[in-house]
Amino acid sequence: MEEENKVSIFGGFVLSEEHLSSFVKENFTEDGDIYSDLMDDLKVDYIDNQFQEVLYIGKEVIKDDLVQFSYSESFLHLINEDLSGYNSVILLYNFNCKNKPQKITLIGVYDYR
């Protein structure tokens, strides 16, 4: 799933910012293995959180809300999906999502830089 210069954008509807933080939070097993609800949903073993941006808005997302993300000028004009069903977004850079998540929705995978 790692792929240079790709950004996977996901939308979700969560109850609160705390729920979103809990969803992306990295946890560790007793053996030291890392996991998160996000990794489980995407069926991946690891996500580098240094290449992750998360935003909880608390109301319907509009395209202009995405302007604040890194490299948004590279991909914002390519997003044609209706974002109104989401109140939060997750961006994973250098990540080309190929699995269909169950708890969040893949809005799309775009080139950036």
Give the tens place of pLDDT for each residue, 48-70: 999 999 999 999 999 999 999 99
Domain range for residue 84? 2-111
Q: Rounded to an integer, what distance in angstroms lies between the CA atom of residue 44 and that of residue 2?
A: 10
Residue 106 structure tokens: 């893949």
Q: Helices marked H in 25-88 — which ranges?
A: 37-42, 72-75
- Say if residue 34's pLDDT is above 90: yes
Residue 5 structure tokens: 């210069």
Q: Among residues of the chain, what percentage have pLDDT more than 90?
A: 98
Mean pLDDT of the chain: 96
What is this structure's pTM? 0.95
- Closest listed residue to residue 8, CA positions, set 58, 56, 61, 47: 47
The pLDDT of residue 1 is 84
Q: What's the total number of domains in the chain?
A: 1
